[in-house]
Structures are given as structure tokens and as C-alpha cells.
Amino acid sequence: MLFSRGFSRISRTGSSRGRCLFSILREQHQLAPSNHFHSPRDSSEMALGCRENYSWGSCAFNGFGRQIHYQSSSIVEEQLDPFSLVENELSMLANRLRSMVVAEVPKLASAAEYLFKMGVEGKRFRPTVLLLLATALNVRIPGPASDGVIDSLPMELRKRQQRIAEITEMIHVASLLHDDVLDDADTRRGIGSLNFVMGNKIAVLAGDFLLSRACGALASLKNTEVVSLLATAVEHLVTGETMQMTTASEQRCSMEYYMQKTYYKTASLISNSCKAVAVLAGQTTEVSMLAYEYGKNLGLAYQLIDDVLDFTGTSTTLGKGSLSDIRHGIITAPLLYAMEEFPQLHAVCDRGLKNSADVDLALGYLGKSHGIQRSRELAAKHANLASAAIDSLPENDDEDVQRSRRALVDLTQIVITRSK
């Protein structure tokens, strides 16, 4: 099997939706935020990416060296680490998540706990985006922010938005649990996957459990539009997964199909959650759509870079990545582009890429093509669209609002410039 313990870049059937942004770090190797990017430890550990992990992007930002402290606002503002802005809130969120998934049945409780264990120390990418967005959209409007309930207290609104972040995490983790069962995955983020450790049965159940808790939490928000948004995201996750599992030949070679599948699997959850945050804040339809567009484009950009990194790893050269997608016959953006330049690739892909000679052949074509380049360009395009969405938000002088918006823009760049 290709998964070396923890560090191989695994993105196979079922979860090519994303890897963590940066390298996996096991708990004991966790870098303190101030560490420089290149640690003296084994660089190969850091070089390899990880499969989508429970806290999307958490490992990514450990080692992210740009921790320049915010100086007084009268001096030129230097680059902020977006994650530090919401750090405290995130750890409270993590605790609340734990209490939300307490189950009556011990086995189920420990299964649910298992999932959140990994994410606690790392940065949680989705919740970070959502919390930053909540601040970025802060307009302090009293008045109906949900069906008939007047959220005039910013605190109350914030709590509800935090709940969206929690719900999003639960849905995300539930989908990962099932994906692992579907993929027969034996590791997730460097440790045994739940299905591997406790069996498929409990993994399926735990996923269902999380999903039902998420639905219950959604209902408690008493906002039917928000319920719809997240229900749609759930449907999309399943649709994306089934698209991936059952792709017929002509679809596998279609960029359009691939982007649709990627939207379903990776971008829909974050985009609909972003929109939900805006809806809860009582924002206009227009602003809610901007929030949606931000999430969507950020998600797509993320996945495209993920695809590239699966080939390149931390180097810029081909074949240094974990190559897990291609080895599982998953044809991602770079190859799809390459196929446009080299139609011969079509036949190679049709054979299913099960043969390592075919894999090498495909890589050869890829190397000769502009596939990687064009994927990066597409990612950059989506990153810019995300950025533009933030820039289009209604003007707001509030310092916190501006800082969060800057952070959201920074994230779009982080997503596309990361090298693992």
C-alpha cells in the first residue's frame, strides 16, 4: 500500500478533495508557531503532504513562518497570520465540539472523540475561514437575523455563527469517516483511521451519528435557510463522492466534470457555510452571495493546488509528490490539461492507470505539457475571484472588520503559494 505511516500524500478514491495545506505533523512533532519553516528535522517528513485530514489545513500552518506580530495600527501593518486572529475562539470551538458529540453509548462516544482528537492542536481551516468571515461581515444591524428571532446582541449572533463552524466540522468529519470506509483507508493524518482501528461498522455509525448531531444543531439555529444551505452541502458531498466512485470513461477525461465533482466534494461545504454565516448576520442576498463566492473559489483553488502538489510535492519538479491520485486512477486537473495537448493520454487514462508503466507514461506526457502550469493558473484565477469577493464587500471602517477581511484575502494567497 502506498501509505507510509503518516506522511505519504494520500489522495485517492474518495478523498482527492483535499489534502492538508501543508505537511502532516504528528503531535509530537508539532512545531511551535514561531519556528522557522525549515526545521532541522527530517525534511522528507515535512516534504510529504498528507491526505485530507480531520482539521483541514491544520498541519499546513504549523511551521508557517510568517508570524509577524501586529504592531500599532499607526505603523504600517505587517502580514498577520490569519489563524492567530481566531485562535482562542477556535480552541473554545474545539471544546464545544467535544461536548456536542458526547454520546450515550461509550463506544460511539469514543469513536466520535477519536475524530476530534487530531484536530485539536492543529489549526482548523474551515472554522478559521468561517470565524474570520463572521467578523468580516460584522455590521451590527439589529433586527431579524433569522426567522423571527431578533439578534440584536452581537454576542448571540457570534455564538450562532460559531455553531455554523461547529456544524461544518461535524459534517466534514462525518464525510471523512465514510470516505475512509469507502476507500479502505488504513491511515488518516498519520494515525490509524477509525475504520481501521475500530472497524468499518463503528466508523459508518460514527459518521451517521455526527451527521445527525449536525442536523440537530442546525435545527436549533431555527433558521430554515441555513438548514437548507447545509443540507445542500451534505447532498453535494455525497454526490461528489458517488461521482468519483462511478466515473465513466468520457467523464473522467472531462475538465468540466472534474470541476463539478471538485465543487461538490471540496468547495460546496465551505461555500454554503460561508453563505450561512452571512445569512445569520442578516446580510443582504448580495453580500451572502459574495460570502458564498469567496468560499467556493477558495475551495476550488485549494483543491487545484492540492492536485498539483500530488505531482510535485515540495519541489517544483514532477514526480516528487506522493502521486497518490494518479496511482488510484484519479485524473486531476494537471493531467486533464495535459490530455488537451496530448490526446494520446486519453488512451492511457482509459486503461485505468493501474499499470505503473502507464503511470510513468502519463507522467511523461504531463512533464512535456503545460498541465501543471495551467492548473496553477486556474488556481490563481480562483484565488483572485475569492479575493475580489472580499474586496466587493460593503465598506466598513471597523478595525476588526478590516483586519479580518485582510486575513481572508491573505488566505487566498496562502492557499496557492503553499508548497505542501
Query: Given the rule CB under 8 A, which of 82-90, 228-236, 282-290, 311-319 is the region that contacts a copy of itself?
Result: 228-236
Q: What three-state secondary structure class fits 408?
A: helix
Which helix (H) or strand (E) segment holds residue 360: the answer is helix 356-368
Burial of 63 (0-12, 13-18, 19+ CB in 10 A): buried
User: Which position has the grid cell 461555500?
Assistant: 271
Q: Exactly one of 178, 189, 265, 296 binds a copy of itself (CB under 8 A); which one?
A: 178
CB of 129 to a copy of itself, least distance (A): 23
Tell whether residue 211 is a contact of a copy of itself (CB under 8 A): yes
DSSP state of 187: E
Please enumerate in sequence order all residues whose Cβ is within 8 A of that of 416, keeping only pairs 6 or more positions apart, or say none.
Answer: 301, 305, 376, 379, 380, 383
Q: How far is the CB of 215 from a copy of itself (least distance, A)?
A: 4
Size of the site for a copy of itself (CB under 8 A): 44
The residues, any chain, with a CB within 8 Å of residue 415's CB and separated by 6 or more, are 21, 298, 301, 302, 305, 379, 383
Q: Is 343 in the site for a copy of itself (CB under 8 A)?
A: no
Q: Which of 194, 237, 393, 416: binder of a copy of itself (CB under 8 A)?
A: 237
Q: What is the rounded distance in angstroms from the CA atom of residue 295 to the CA atom of residue 301?
A: 10
Q: Answer yes or no whether residue 68 interacts with a copy of itself by CB under 8 A.
A: no
DSSP 343-355: THHHHHHHTTS-S
Shortest distance, position 177 Cβ to a copy of itself, whole Å: 10
Give 4: exposed, middle or buried? Use CB within 10 Å, 0-12, 13-18, 19+.
middle
Binding flag, residue 254, a copy of itself (CB under 8 A): no
The cell 493501474 sits on which residue? 354
> Rule CB under 8 A: is residue 250 a binding residue for a copy of itself?
no
Window of 35-43, 71-79, 89-97, 197-205 that interacts with a copy of itself by CB under 8 A: 197-205
**142 forms part of the interface with a copy of itself (CB under 8 A):** no
By beta-carbon proximity to a copy of itself, the closer residue of 220 and 417 is 220
Q: Is 253 in the site for a copy of itself (CB under 8 A)?
A: no
Q: Minimum Å distance from CB 267 to a copy of itself?
A: 17
Q: Which residues pair with 150 in a beta bridge?
A: 144
Q: What is the contact surface with a copy of itself in residues (CB under 8 A)?
A: 103-108, 147-148, 178, 181-182, 200-202, 204-205, 208-209, 211-213, 215-216, 218-224, 227-228, 231-232, 234-235, 237-239, 241-243, 245-246
